[in-house]
Structure 1
Amino acid sequence: MRVKEMADLAGTTPRAVRHYHRLGLLEIPPTVRGKRHYGVEHLARLLRIRWLAEGGLSLSQVAEMLSSDTRGADRSTVLQDLRAARGTIEAQRRSLEEQAVRIDELIARVESGSALSPAPTALTRFYDDLEDRVRKAGGDVAAVRTERQIKQVMAALGMIPDSAAAFVEELDDADMELCARQVCAFSRLPRLRAPEGLEQAHELAQNTYALCLRHKTAVVRALADLPDGALGRALWRLSHVMVVTGYPHPAQRAFAVHLLDLLMTDPDIAATIRRSAGKDPVL
């Protein structure tokens, strides 16, 4: 039979057959009058290659298994390869199930009219509201958008616990107005002279710290849900890099540093931060 006929019978393509030839998986048949003619033995071999490959084995594993047939290798080697392939398939199955769950969440968000974002819906609503208030106050929304992008990156990496939504959901209208004023003032820091900018940055940090204390239970709960160990330290290092990159001006950096210093003065908040970030956290 010709190569296309055999490929059709095996559910593959002539191109795949030629690839198997190059890999040494399938013997090249003799040429008769300039044409290759494949026999039943070639079809049987091709069917076995396809069966093994579709079972989850890589072509290098297929080659090893086919080779073990001819050299009389211990069946334990074959079993080891098959079990490894089974493990790969199981991991792929779990990954697909996780993807299905995420897709279901996205479908639910679209159906509810929410934005498509890896961040919790409450956090997305918070930044939408904050950006609207800043815009109405004549402020620069760039700082809000930078903060939103930082949170989206962290959410995409699974570094924002669901309990973080509880904090923003507790904020009332007065709190949100304070947040909007804070953002407007924070955006003006780069335009101030050094002494005045530093003083303003410390005042903004004090205001933010006071807001955190008013909602301390929710803040501590969210911090307590952050990962600890190596993952927790990686989260804080990533946060530090993104804050430095997103807010490079010295006065804005001074705000972040002073805010962390203030948070560390509260024993409960400090304990939860150290559990995740380590002994000497940076922001």
Structure 2
Amino acid sequence: MRIKEMADLAGTTPRAVRHYHQLGLLDVPPTVRGRREYGVEHLARLLRIRWLAGGGLPLPRVADMLAADESGADRDSVLRDLRAARRSIDAQQRALREQADRIDGLIAQVADGGTLSPLPSVLARFYDDIEDRIRAVGQGVSDKALRTVRAERQIMMILASRGAIPASAGLLVEGLDGAERDECARQIIAFARLDETGEASALRLAQDTWELALRHKEQTLAVLDDLPGGPLGRALWDLAEVLAGISYSQKAQQVFTTRLLALMLSDPEFAATIRRSAGREHPRL
């Protein structure tokens, strides 16, 4: 039979058959009257190759595996290749499940009015609300504060893309009532103006922020406790510190972040939770 006839019977193309010839998977048949003439043995071999490749075995290994199988020698290498192929399939299945979960999350997020962002919808709505509250204060005050809250939002989006924003963070912000959200807006306005008001204001603002956290201590601790630990946790804390240093480069703002961390570490429960995630060897701890 001719190459096209065999390819059709095997459900493939002549181009694929020639590719198998090049890889040494399929013998080149003898030429009859100037054309290659394929036999049943070639079709059987071709179908066997496609059956193995369809099972997930890489083509470059199929030739060696078939040779070992047909000779009955080196069965261990055949088993190794089969097990390696199975592990590869497992990895692909895990990746597909993760992709499916991400798409499911995006479907739910967009259906809930959210955007195509790793930032959870509940946090996106929270930042939208805070921006509205800042605008209500007045344009002269709000412009710098809006840039500040948007920088924080971007930091949270970056951390969310790394899996560092647990679901409990959404529960925390949902637990803030209108007065507390107004307080958050005022604190952001004050933080944005620290370059004008100085380090003493930074220390007072850190105390105010800490007191707000204490009013929701159980939920704040839950968020910290849900952060990953080990190398991933340390990497995420390092990333958060780098992002904060880039976004909040003013000295008074750094005084605020240093003081707030010190206040959190002064509480045994907060200290234990933070050190579990960030690692006790972290230079700031």
Q: TM-score, normalised by structure 1?
A: 0.86
Q: CA RMSD in A?
A: 2.5
| Counterpart in the other structure of 1:153 | 158
Rounded to whole Å, the distance in 1 between the matches of 2:158 and 2:280 is 25
Rounded to whole Å, the distance in 2 between the matches of 1:101 and 1:121 is 16
- Deviation string, structure 1 residues 222-248 (Cα, Å, up to 9, x no partner): 111222222221221121122223333
Q: After TM superposition, which residue ranges in structure 1, 4 or more long, deviate above 6 angstroms?
A: none
Rounded to whole Å, the distance in 2 between the matches of 1:96 and 1:123 is 27
Deviation at residue 211 of structure 1 after TM alignment: 1.2
Change (3 A) 1:35 1:200: farther
Structure 2 counterparts to residues 22-37 of structure 1, below 5 A? 22-32=22-32, 35-37=35-37
Rounded to whole Å, the distance in 2 between the matches of 1:10 and 1:150 is 54
Correspondence 1:277 to 2:270: no
- Deviation string, structure 1 residues 146-178 (Cα, Å, up to 9, x no partner): 222222222222222211222211211121112
Rounded to whole Å, the distance in 2 between the matches of 1:13 and 1:146 is 55
Rounded to whole Å, the distance in 1 between the matches of 2:9 and 2:191 is 70
Asked whether the equivalents of residues 7 and 13 of structure 1 are also in contact (C-alpha less than 8 Å), the reply is yes
Asked whether the equivalents of residues 7 and 13 of structure 2 are also in contact (C-alpha less than 8 Å), the reply is yes
Deviation at residue 280 of structure 1 after TM alignment: 4.9
Which stretch has the larger CA shift, 102-111 or 170-179?
Answer: 102-111
The one-letter code sitting in structure 2 at the alignment partner of 1:188 is R
Asked whether the equivalents of residues 109 and 120 of structure 2 are also in contact (C-alpha less than 8 Å), the reply is no
Q: Counterpart of 1:125 in 2: which secondary structure?
A: helix
| Counterpart in the other structure of 2:110 | 110
Number of matched pairs: 279
Structure 2 counterparts to residues 119-268 of structure 1, below 5 A? 119-137=119-137, 138=139, 139-140=142-143, 141-190=146-195, 192=196, 196-268=197-269
The one-letter code sitting in structure 1 at the alignment partner of 2:66 is L
Rounded to whole Å, the distance in 2 between the matches of 1:142 and 1:19 is 58
- Deviation string, structure 1 residues 167-212 (Cα, Å, up to 9, x no partner): 211211121112112222323345x3xxx43333333322211211
| Counterpart in the other structure of 1:90 | 90
Rounded to whole Å, the distance in 1 between the matches of 2:5 and 2:148 is 64
Which stretch has the larger CA shift, 29-38 or 94-103?
Answer: 29-38
| Counterpart in the other structure of 1:44 | 44
Q: How many percent identity over aligned positions?
A: 60
Change (3 A) 1:252 1:4: farther
The one-letter code sitting in structure 2 at the alignment partner of 1:278 is G
- Return 5+ residue gaps in structure 2 as ranges: none
Change (3 A) 1:201 1:22: farther
- Return 5+ residue gaps in structure 1 as ranges: none
Deviation at residue 53 of structure 1 after TM alignment: 1.0
Rounded to whole Å, the distance in 1 between the matches of 2:67 and 2:171 is 60
Deviation at residue 65 of structure 1 after TM alignment: 0.8
Asked whether the equivalents of residues 69 and 78 of structure 2 are also in contact (C-alpha less than 8 Å), the reply is no
